Chains A and B, each alone.
Chain A
Amino acid sequence: MDTFRAAWLIACRDLRSYFRDRTGMLLGFALPIALVGVFGFLSTFLYGEGGAMGRASLWVADEDQSESSARFLQLLADAETVSLHPAVGEDAVTESELRQKIIDGEIHHGLVLTAGFGQTMEQGGLPTLRMLRDPGRTMEDMMIQIGIMQAYFGVTEGNAWPAMMGRQMRQLGMDDDMAKQVESFSESTLQLMRTVFPKSEEEPEAKNEELAGFDMQNFFTQMVPMEEEDFSPPDRPKMVTWMQAQSISGITVMMLMFGLLACGVSLIREREEGTMQRLLASPAPRSAILWGKFMFTAIVGFIQLTVLLTFGETVFHVDTFRDPATLLALMVCTTLAITSFGMLIASWAQTQKQAEGVSTLLILMMSCLGGAWFPLQAFDVPVYVHYAMRSTLTHWAISGFQGMFWHQQSWLHPAMLLDLSVLLGFSVLAACGSLLLFRRRLDA
């Protein structure tokens, strides 16, 4: 009997058992779908639509209750980097409640407008704000500061500008005389600007809106003459965010690994249940046992990948099927790489427990390093982490899918070719390794 036919028989036997266990099979499909769904959905908030930053939530206790403080809060609510709490209509909170909420971990930033805020402001001073914060949340800190700066600037209609500049210079170590000069210079330029662009009496609302729309994120970049151009591949779907494409790629790859682990382990079950003796004693070539498991695992993997990607397409509109050739190449290479990985573990391990333990650890580690959980590639990491990332097959699979979803690379694109060939190379190496291990075990 030739190896292919024997392997095919063994694969069909496994498929029959696999699809017979309805509950197990449905779980095998439903869990990955659920996870891809959750991660895809959550990543929308993580980086916002269209790849922009999301908003950081900021809680405020207004103990001043003046007209100025109300206007300040309104401007803060309009700022793009902050989502303000309590929202209109919700119960106001006090400073001590804010402190407790931070300790309890319910919130991470609490702003207190102390009594006298409005009065100081009317006298032309800079009222001090009190920020209560969870020191671990540095990421949000930046966004909140941007929002506050915008509102602060806006609430004084720009009048605080000279004082803000003076304060900044003093902070930077400038002596008082110099700082005062900066203040008066700022004052003069402000006056000059007011003269050249007189405040329109008829349209006070428009002025306000303009201020509210003041974009601190771009404020400093606008000081330098710079033209900005956005580049996106022409076909990239509008709804997809970078983070979402990353999440869908990452979780799909990770779940595929878990799904295929169960199939690879069927090699070990064969041994534990004694049926391996019959397979070995049969006239079928012995390597057909391994290839049969390989076929079975790869077929299930391909089906799972199709289901997961179809799900991603249906719910998140990542435009999966735009380029069928690239999609197919990626699916085949990814499935092969993960299948060989599963076979390698299965032929190395003595028992099912060993196989599951080791591969769970490896899958989680590779998923983390490969960027399935958070986009590690996007950060500047030490060089050894960089190499660790690139040694995982998840990295290349995710990079391939991300390349297809976000960068719209075709399979002929050099970066995509690299991803595909690394995956294929990994498959060949792991398959040879598992064949060696399998042979060695037979040589008893």
Chain B
Amino acid sequence: MNQAPLLQVNHLRYAYEEREAVRDLSFSVYPGETLGFLGPNGAGKTTTLSCVCGLLRKWQGSMQFRGQEFAPGKSSKQRALLGVVPQELALYGDLTAQENLQFFGRLAGLRGDKLRQAVSRGLDLAGLSSRARDRVSTFSGGMKRRLNIAAGDLHSPELLLLDEPTAGVDPQSRNHIFETLMELKEEGRTLIYTTHYMEEAERLCNRILIVHEGALAASGSAQELAQSLDLPDANLEQVFLQLTGRSLRD
């Protein structure tokens, strides 16, 4: 890439008390790209995203956003640059879909017409325009997942962090989410995206990072990864297993 990176992460380390979850991880995200973050359970994907979005503050290393020192845990202006789609659903069950989006939109600083447009776009994105006035507690898992994504993208952040946005949903919803992400990508948005689903990553991501036990195991496009391992015909899943081993994780 000849562009300057949007976000650059250098030698990131994070430890929960004794356990080192991220050890010396460095990577960059370039504007307009979709970066796939792959790794078995417990590899440190969620931890890395939490450091990037400021939920965790006691990390070591450095981050730059457009070349500027970046510590969103301490600066609300910097948090406004990011959108977060947490791995766990983060919605208010007793509010309607619309009310959820309105609240998170306002919290992200939107008002008036901008807010109205963002909410209706969000409902559209989630495929929930017809259920806008229903309470989220009455939604299926897939509907909640879709709304969860829309809630993170309301203010069209410069960088959208998605932590396993397709976990545990039926093929229809997965497909919808997949298409949503494709749409965002085509709009030229920058995404970091973690998943277990190899073919999704293969199709969606410009570049893939494979993380293993908190450190980078390999990076590149799906094709480059396969070639680097001398497995030119292998699919991403085979590459993944080759790099991270076959033993169980949890």
> Chain A interface (Cβ within 8 Å of chain B)?
1, 6, 9-10, 13, 16-17, 20-21, 273-286, 442-444
**B107/A282 in contact, CB under 8 A:** yes
Return the chain B residue nearest A282 by Cβ: B107
**B92/A274 in contact, CB under 8 A:** no
Please, which residues of chain A bring their CB within 8 A of the CB of B55?
277, 280-281, 444
Return the chain A residue nearest B103 by Cβ: A13
**B95/A281 in contact, CB under 8 A:** no
Q: State how many angstroms separate the Cβ of B160 from the closest Cβ of chain A.
A: 11
- Expressed in whole angstroms, the Cα–Cα distance for A243 and B94 within the complex equals 42
**Other A-B pairs beyond A17-B92, A277-B86, 16, CB < 8 Å:** A6-B107, A9-B106, A16-B95, A16-B99, A273-B90, A274-B86, A274-B89, A274-B90, A277-B90, A278-B104, A278-B151, A282-B79, A282-B104, A282-B107, A443-B58, A444-B58
> In chain B between 93 and 129, which residues have their CB closer than 8 angstroms to a CB of chain A?
93-95, 99, 103-104, 106-109
B77 close to A (CB within 8 Å): yes
Return the chain A residue nearest B163 by Cβ: A277
Return the chain A residue nearest B88 by Cβ: A274
Q: State how many angstroms separate the Cβ of B137 from the closest Cβ of chain A.
A: 11
Please, which residues of chain A bring their CB within 8 A of the CB of B88?
274, 277
**B57/A281 in contact, CB under 8 A:** no
> In chain B between 48 and 97, which residues have their CB closer than 8 angstroms to a CB of chain A?
53-58, 72, 76-77, 79-80, 82, 84, 86, 88-95
Q: State how many angstroms separate the Cβ of B21 from the closest Cβ of chain A.
A: 12
17 cross-chain CB contacts under 8 A: A1-B107, A6-B107, A10-B107, A13-B95, A21-B94, A273-B92, A275-B90, A275-B91, A277-B90, A278-B86, A278-B151, A279-B107, A281-B55, A281-B72, A283-B77, A283-B108, A444-B55
**Majority-rule SS of B interface residues:** loop
**A283/B76 in contact, CB under 8 A:** yes
Q: State how many angstroms separate the Cβ of B19 from the closest Cβ of chain A.
A: 13
> In chain B between 119 and 175, which residues have their CB closer than 8 angstroms to a CB of chain A?
151-152
Q: State how many angstroms separate the Cβ of B7 from the closest Cβ of chain A.
A: 15
> Chain B interface (Cβ within 8 Å of chain A)?
53-58, 72, 76-77, 79-80, 82, 84, 86, 88-95, 99, 103-104, 106-109, 151-152
Q: State how many angstroms separate the Cβ of B164 from the closest Cβ of chain A.
A: 13
**B56/A444 in contact, CB under 8 A:** yes
Counting residue pairs across A and B whose Cβ atoms lie within 8 Å, the total is 75
**B108/A282 in contact, CB under 8 A:** yes
Please, which residues of chain B bring their CB within 8 A of the CB of A279?
107
Selected from B76, B92, B99, the residue in CB contact (under 8 A) with A275 is B92
**A283/B109 in contact, CB under 8 A:** yes
**Majority-rule SS of A interface residues:** helix
Q: State how many angstroms separate the Cβ of A169 from the closest Cβ of chain B.
A: 78
Return the chain A residue nearest B56 by Cβ: A444
- Expressed in whole angstroms, the Cα–Cα distance for A281 and B88 within the complex equals 14
Q: By CB atoms of chain B within 10 A, which of A9, A16, A282 has the most?
A: A282
**A1/B76 in contact, CB under 8 A:** yes
Please, which residues of chain A bring their CB within 8 A of the CB of B109?
1, 283
Q: State how many angstroms separate the Cβ of A438 from the closest Cβ of chain B.
A: 14
**B107/A284 in contact, CB under 8 A:** yes
- Expressed in whole angstroms, the Cα–Cα distance for A286 and B79 within the complex equals 11
Return the chain B residue nearest A281 by Cβ: B84
Please, which residues of chain B bring their CB within 8 A of the CB of A277?
55, 84, 86, 88, 90
Please, which residues of chain B bring their CB within 8 A of the CB of A282?
79, 104, 107-108
By Cβ-Cβ distance, the 6 closest A-B pairs, closest first, are A283-B80, A274-B90, A274-B88, A281-B84, A282-B107, A283-B76
Please, which residues of chain B bring their CB within 8 A of the CB of A9?
103, 106-107
Given A13-B103, A442-B57, A443-B58: A285 and B76 interface contact (C-beta under 8 Å): yes
Q: State how many angstroms separate the Cβ of A20 from the closest Cβ of chain B.
A: 6
- Expressed in whole angstroms, the Cα–Cα distance for A409 and B56 within the complex equals 52
Selected from A17, A274, A283, A444, the residue in CB contact (under 8 A) with B95 is A17
**A444/B57 in contact, CB under 8 A:** yes
Given A6-B107, A9-B106, A444-B58: A284 and B76 interface contact (C-beta under 8 Å): yes
- Expressed in whole angstroms, the Cα–Cα distance for A276 and B84 within the complex equals 12
Q: State how many angstroms separate the Cβ of A21 from the closest Cβ of chain B.
A: 7
- Expressed in whole angstroms, the Cα–Cα distance for A9 and B95 within the complex equals 14
Return the chain B residue nearest A276 by Cβ: B90
Please, which residues of chain A bring their CB within 8 A of the CB of B151?
278
Return the chain B residue nearest A444 by Cβ: B56
Please, which residues of chain A bring their CB within 8 A of the CB of B91?
275
Please, which residues of chain B bring their CB within 8 A of the CB of A17?
92, 94-95
Return the chain A residue nearest B161 by Cβ: A281
- Expressed in whole angstroms, the Cα–Cα distance for A443 and B59 within the complex equals 11
Return the chain B residue nearest A278 by Cβ: B90
Please, which residues of chain A bring their CB within 8 A of the CB of B106?
9
Return the chain B residue nearest A10 by Cβ: B107
**B90/A283 in contact, CB under 8 A:** no
Q: By CB atoms of chain B within 10 A, which of A10, A13, A276 has the most?
A: A13
Please, which residues of chain A bring their CB within 8 A of the CB of B94?
17, 20-21
**B92/A13 in contact, CB under 8 A:** yes
**B86/A283 in contact, CB under 8 A:** no
Please, which residues of chain B bring their CB within 8 A of the CB of A283?
76-77, 79-80, 107-109
Q: State how many angstroms separate the Cβ of B107 from the closest Cβ of chain A.
A: 4
**B82/A281 in contact, CB under 8 A:** yes
Please, which residues of chain A bring their CB within 8 A of the CB of B104?
278, 282
- Expressed in whole angstroms, the Cα–Cα distance for A370 and B179 within the complex equals 62
- Expressed in whole angstroms, the Cα–Cα distance for A430 and B172 within the complex equals 50
Return the chain A residue nearest B80 by Cβ: A283
- Expressed in whole angstroms, the Cα–Cα distance for A275 and B147 within the complex equals 13
Q: State how many angstroms separate the Cβ of B27 from the closest Cβ of chain A.
A: 20
- Expressed in whole angstroms, the Cα–Cα distance for A273 and B99 within the complex equals 17
Please, which residues of chain A bring their CB within 8 A of the CB of B79?
281-283
- Expressed in whole angstroms, the Cα–Cα distance for A279 and B91 within the complex equals 11
Return the chain B residue nearest A279 by Cβ: B107
Please, which residues of chain B bring their CB within 8 A of the CB of A10?
107
- Expressed in whole angstroms, the Cα–Cα distance for A211 and B77 within the complex equals 88
